[in-house]
Structure 1
Amino acid sequence: MKKSRGLINEKELSREFGAEHSVPVLIRSTYSKFLPLLRLRRAAEILLRSIGRSGTELSILLVDDAEMMQLNRQWLRRSCSTNVISFSQHGDDFRQPDNDLLGDVVISVDTARLESANAGVELGQRLEELLVHGLVHLLGEDHELGPVEAERMKCKEQALLSALYKELRMADLCINIDHVATVRQARGTTEPDPVTAAGIVEMAGADGIVVHLREDRRHIQDRDVRLLRQTIKTRLTLEMAATEEMIGIASDIRPDIVTLVPEGREELTTEGGLDVVTLEKQLTTAVTRLHDANIPVSLFVDPERDQIMAAKQTGADCIEIHTGLYADAPSSKIQDREFEKIVAMARAAMDLDLRVHAGHGLNYRNTARLAAVSEIQEFSIGHAVIGRAVLVGLERAVREMLSLVQKGYLE
């Protein structure tokens, strides 16, 4: 049902969720339990883009059955709770292209929980389905007008859900170019230049560049990070230890995101995730300082529930799941077990409103399977791509990996 009524105050939402989320998707929850708001926001943004309304404001309100019943009674004169109600911001003028306010979708989480349990699906999935139903109402469809209208609305919902789940499977690919610098440092010369390599990687279609500025400067140098910040057109991820020196460098250079990683001088590469449980206080301080510099923060963690819960407590925006045990599994049985662990922990992180990245040891044989996991939104892959680039060229190596990640070889 549609009703012309704005239920969400933009200023109030900006205070609650941050000014960067003021448009086009506003989400507010009066529900007492934690909900996957980030997942729902991402779904809403994809849906708006798929209908050509990415510049249109959509408000989502999550309530319990009691509040939904009150809204039904107040606006629709119904003395019952429903799973979703839509309130148009502009009456019958929803078809006008210059409208920048679409309306409100109100979802009863109590009812959604019951429906998801009965259908054997995740709560997050059912919330997405109800969001689609409410959005189609805002676009002018109403299944209560008759069988023809109901069938038309159903077809539109199915089309939107197909578009949503197709895009949710398409994770970003960021290329780690550390090993371009490794070759350069082996001879102590100026070539190959990782900054030049980054340009080729971007032209090949990658979504971002990743570098690890280590305390021992064994490959990437300060000069590289500064030039990359000035030249790349996508986004820059800076991997680093949570030290005073590195926090200062990051605050000065301002990468698009920092990934905090463990670091040992004797290791060839990062060998495992952060022990966030043990280091929670130190990491919380680092996250806070980076946030003060307006830098989002990701924590590199093993796929373990206690580590992910601790990561949430630090205030981090994101986790990167360490995929090394999956990538290096000595048997298919062990790899299957590690895969299921990654999937479960990616879902757990998403439910905690953490963005989910994955990386370490991924190559052209084991990435496609993970690319089918919709909760993983970004892959960080380096060694395999740089190694293949020696044989086929950097641009082709990136394109081949990009194809695996984007298409996922899902079937």
Structure 2
Amino acid sequence: MTKLSVNINKIATLRNARGHNRPDLLQVARDCERFGAQGITVHPRPDERHIRYQDVRDLKPLVTTELNIEGNPTPDFLNLVREMRPEQVTLVPDAPDAITSNAGWDTVEHQLYLMGVVQELKSLGCRVSIFLDPDLEMVKAAVGTGTDRIEFYTEAYARQYPHDREAAVLPYRTAAILAQQLGLGINAGHDLDLENLAYLHQNLPGLAEVSIGHALVCDALYLGLENTIQLYRRQLQ
């Protein structure tokens, strides 16, 4: 079964806009789990413009499913992970000023660097996933890092899906088959929504987990959080 991890960054963005505690990020995380989410994802960035490092510290003892911390493995990020020891760490090569993640790792060029980071994170008891484009060479090189999983960056799929969904999913399916053959677990995330999620799920063998935030929070404004989470869960059945 493919698990749904809810990224709550956008909840933190809304809270930070007024400088108070409304909405209550911790209560939203509890409610997401209560409504059926099988994980909580956070992506703290150096400027803390949405999720703050203290939020991660506050969330860790409350999350009863699985805490997934995403981010670029900077010294501050790695110190946070050493302290929190989440169930999963997703390594994302985003620049400090990036609005959102916009590319996967070059696992050929950065293989030795990633190998060291992955080795340490696994020694802490964390499952490690590397954010990746559906490039076969990058998938092959990811094996050399020692990572447990890769997370496919699905923005290209989501952009092409309305025009030609078969062409949109083909590189991801091909890369997923190779990843399975190489013993890598498969996650996916970025721009997935109620329109395109089911088709991706049907065509990606071995898809273990999707991480969804922006679209899910937008849908919840109209449909309600509980109903929205259930609708996303149905796309994964």
Shorter-chain TM band: over 0.9
Structure 2 counterpart of 1:282, from 85, 110, 113: 113
Q: CA offset at residue 330 of structure 1?
A: 7.1
Q: Which residue is 2:92 aligned to? A: 261
Structure 2 counterpart of 1:346, from 176, 181, 201: 176
Q: CA offset at residue 266 of structure 1?
A: 3.1
Q: Which residue is 1:71 aligned to? A: none
Q: Distance in 2 between matches of 1:291 and 1:190?
A: 34
Q: Which residue is 2:221 aligned to? A: 390
Structure 2 counterpart of 1:369, from 199, 221, 224: 199
SS at match of 1:289: helix
- Superposition pairs of residues 20-99 of structure 1, within 5 angstroms: none
Q: Distance in 2 between matches of 1:185 and 1:176?
A: 16
Q: Which residue is 1:215 aligned to? A: 46
Q: Which residue is 1:249 aligned to? A: 80
Q: CA offset at residue 176 of structure 1?
A: 0.6
SS at match of 1:358: strand
Q: Does the alignment pair 1:233 with 2:77?
A: no
Q: Which residue is 2:158 aligned to? A: 327
1:24-81, Cα deviation, whole Å (9 max, x unpaired): xxxxxxxxxxxxxxxxxxxxxxxxxxxxxxxxxxxxxxxxxxxxxxxxxxxxxxxxxx
* Equivalent residues of 1:178, 1:194 under 8 A apart: no
SS at match of 1:258: strand
Alignment-mate amino acid for residue 171 of structure 1: T
Q: Does the alignment pair 1:176 with 2:7?
A: yes
- Superposition pairs of residues 107-256 of structure 1, within 5 angstroms: 170-256=1-87
* Equivalent residues of 2:105, 2:133 under 8 A apart: yes
Q: Distance in 2 between matches of 1:224 and 1:320?
A: 23
* Equivalent residues of 1:240, 1:259 under 8 A apart: yes
1:246-268, Cα deviation, whole Å (9 max, x unpaired): 11110110100100001123322
Q: Which residue is 1:55 aligned to? A: none
- Structure 2: segments with no counterpart, 5+ residues: none
Q: Distance in 2 between matches of 1:248 and 1:223?
A: 13
Q: Distance in 2 between matches of 1:322 and 1:178?
A: 17
Q: Which residue is 1:132 aligned to? A: none
Q: Distance in 2 between matches of 1:291 and 1:338?
A: 33
Q: CA offset at residue 331 of structure 1?
A: 5.1
Q: Distance in 1 between matches of 2:64 and 2:162?
A: 40
Q: Which residue is 1:315 aligned to? A: 146
Q: Distance in 2 between matches of 1:371 and 1:331?
A: 16
Q: Does the alignment pair 1:360 with 2:194?
A: no
Q: Which has the higher contact order (CA 8 A, sep 6+)?
A: 2
Q: CA offset at residue 302 of structure 1?
A: 0.3
1:308-357, Cα deviation, whole Å (9 max, x unpaired): 11111001000001111010127523x42230110111111111111101
SS at match of 2:41: strand
Q: Which residue is 1:112 aligned to? A: none
Aligned length: 236
Q: Which residue is 2:122 aligned to? A: 291
Q: Distance in 2 between matches of 1:400 and 1:309?
A: 34
Q: CA offset at residue 285 of structure 1?
A: 1.2
Q: Distance in 1 between matches of 2:236 and 2:23?
A: 27
* Equivalent residues of 2:15, 2:24 under 8 A apart: yes
Alignment-mate amino acid for residue 288 of structure 1: Q
1:117-149, Cα deviation, whole Å (9 max, x unpaired): xxxxxxxxxxxxxxxxxxxxxxxxxxxxxxxxx
Q: CA offset at residue 196 of structure 1?
A: 1.0
Q: Which residue is 1:399 aligned to? A: 230
- Structure 1: segments with no counterpart, 5+ residues: 1-169, 407-411
* Equivalent residues of 2:161, 2:168 under 8 A apart: no
Please identify which structure carries the higher helix content.
1
Q: Distance in 2 between matches of 1:326 and 1:242?
A: 26
Q: CA offset at residue 374 of structure 1?
A: 3.2
SS at match of 1:187: coil
Q: Distance in 1 between matches of 2:112 and 2:17?
A: 37
Aligned-residue Cα RMSD (Å) equals 1.3
* Equivalent residues of 1:171, 1:374 under 8 A apart: no
Closer, same or farther in 2 for the Cα pair 1:236/1:347, shift >3 Å?
Answer: same
Q: Which residue is 2:167 aligned to? A: 337
Alignment TM-score, normalising by the size of structure 2: 0.95
SS at match of 2:17: helix
* Equivalent residues of 2:148, 2:185 under 8 A apart: yes
* Equivalent residues of 1:242, 1:283 under 8 A apart: no
